[in-house]
Amino acid sequence: MAKLDGKVAVVTGGSRGIGAAIARRLAADGAHVAITYSGNAETAEAAVAAVRAHGVEGMALRADAADADAVKAIVPQVVDRFGRLDILVNNAGILVLAPLEDCTDEDFERIVAVNIRAVFLASRAAAKVMEDGGRIITIGSVNGDRMPFPGGALYAMSKAAVAALTKGWARDLGPRGITVTCVQPGPIDTDMNPASGDFAEMMTPMIALGRYGTPDEVAALVAFLASLESANITGRDLANRLQDVA
């Protein structure tokens, strides 16, 4: 038996990048997987096909993480389809880069809506339906506790917030055996932040391993946190740390 056989997982923002890698890995470990996406239906269906290739069920739900009503509807739709929910991976997120003088009200409101409010809404809904022993995992960022370049304050704020929520929710849900964790990767090679170009040239020398990580490496950690092997790990943020910046 695969270690997640019979489990049902939701991966928000699961149509590409880190989210798609997580969906594939959870499926490979035996879980039925629902993903959410906000834009490209064709990309989302390709991600679902990759899930189903592992012999499990998959589904795609269109849900913009900035839309509170859409986020609230995710868990009920998954439970209606699969009858249960065991694992929630809060992966959907956006990046806003601008110095303080140039940040707009809209920048602030949108990053709070997508990177913080959506995590709260999905996690609250999941906690209400999960059986004891469930898993809530949020993809944060190393920037939640370290910001080595200018213009990243709003993004850092949002990732620090979900790390703090993780600690509080671990206390709330601990009596039910539901673990709550936050994965805080450093730079990961995705289409949003490729391991090439000017930004990568600046960041790579600051990474302890001297290279960008891969989506599959993040997915491997998420799969561990979703499994029974991690039953004694909660309220923690787990990170690939950037080196100190001179």
d(CA 228, CA 88): 15
Residue 74 tokens read as 């995710």
DSSP state of 112: H
Tell me which of 3.40.50.720, 3.80.30.20, 3.40.50.300, 3.40.50.10810 is the CATH number of domain 8-237. Answer: 3.40.50.720
Residue 214 has pLDDT above 70, yes or no: yes
Q: Residue 208 — very low, low, confident or very high, per pLDDT cuts 50/70/90?
A: confident
d(CA 174, CA 231): 10
d(CA 221, CA 1): 20
Catalytic residues: 155
Burial bucket for residue 18 (CB in 10 Å: 0-12, 13-18, 19+): buried
User: Tokens 């939640």 label which residue?
Assistant: 144
Residue 199 has pLDDT above 90, yes or no: no
Q: Taking all residues of the chain, what is their mean pLDDT, rounded to a whole number? A: 94
Residue 164 has pLDDT above 90, yes or no: yes
The DSSP line for 33-88 is: EEEEESS-HHHHHHHHHHHHTTTS-EEEEE--TT-HHHHHHHHHHHHHHHS---EE
pLDDT 10s digits, 17-38? 999 999 999 999 999 999 999 9
10 Å Cβ neighbour count for 106?
A: 9
Domain boundaries of the chain, sorted by first residue: 8-237
User: Tokens 């056989």 label which residue?
Assistant: 5
Nearest C-alpha neighbor of 162 from the set 220, 95, 117: 117
pLDDT 10s digits, 33-61? 999 999 899 999 999 999 999 999 999 99
Question: What pLDDT shows up at residue 1?
Answer: 63
The DSSP line for 181-236 is: EEEE---B-SSSS-SSSHHHHHHGGGBTTSS-B-HHHHHHHHHHHHSGGGTT--SE
